[in-house]
Amino acid sequence: MHNLSTSWKLRWTSALGTFALAFGILVVIALSPVKADHNTGSDTDIENEFEGDAEAIEYGRLLFARRCAYCHGGGGAGAKGPSLTKGKFKYSRKALTSDLVSIIMGGIPNTQMGAFGRTVDGDETLKIIAYIRQETAKRAEIEAEQAPAK
């Protein structure tokens, strides 16, 4: 009688423990921003003072060619890494500069996209983004010209 009630108690405790663990894991998954939903990102953006600044964009172009084109293709058109000039981003629903800064400096966990925060500083990252914006605008212009007139 004594033994029976102890083993029942033990089983109950371990079941409760398993449940608590499973619940804990679920909470961690739900709170993990990248795993829970790719298309999130912030709602408010920061100003990129280098957009439209020819000298800064040229600097961004050189940095991009050196650090990013290997995966993202010449002009960011895409290679083994995704194209960055479609004006749409998987990891930023609103294509925000602030999201791109954190992607570039912090990387994307468990992908080939590494963190460049030690290689490029904040201003350099903004210059690369200014270059990406310019290439995006160029691409949109070319595609608009090529679209059949209706």
Q: Give me the residues that bind ligand HEC (CB under 6 A), please.
A: 67-68, 70-72, 81-82, 84, 89-92, 100, 103-104, 108, 111-113, 116, 128
* Burial category of 27 from C-beta neighbours within 10 Å (exposed 0-12, middle 13-18, buried 19 and up): exposed
Nearer to ligand HEC (CB atom), residue 59 or residue 116: 116
Nearer to ligand HEC (CB atom), residue 23 or residue 70: 70
The span from the CA of 87 to the CA of 116, in Å, is 21
Nearer to ligand HEC (CB atom), residue 53 or residue 94: 94
The span from the CA of 101 to the CA of 116, in Å, is 10
Tell the smallest beta-carbon distance from residue 143 to ligand HEC (Å).
Answer: 18
The span from the CA of 115 to the CA of 101, in Å, is 10
Tell the smallest beta-carbon distance from residue 23 to ligand HEC (Å).
Answer: 29
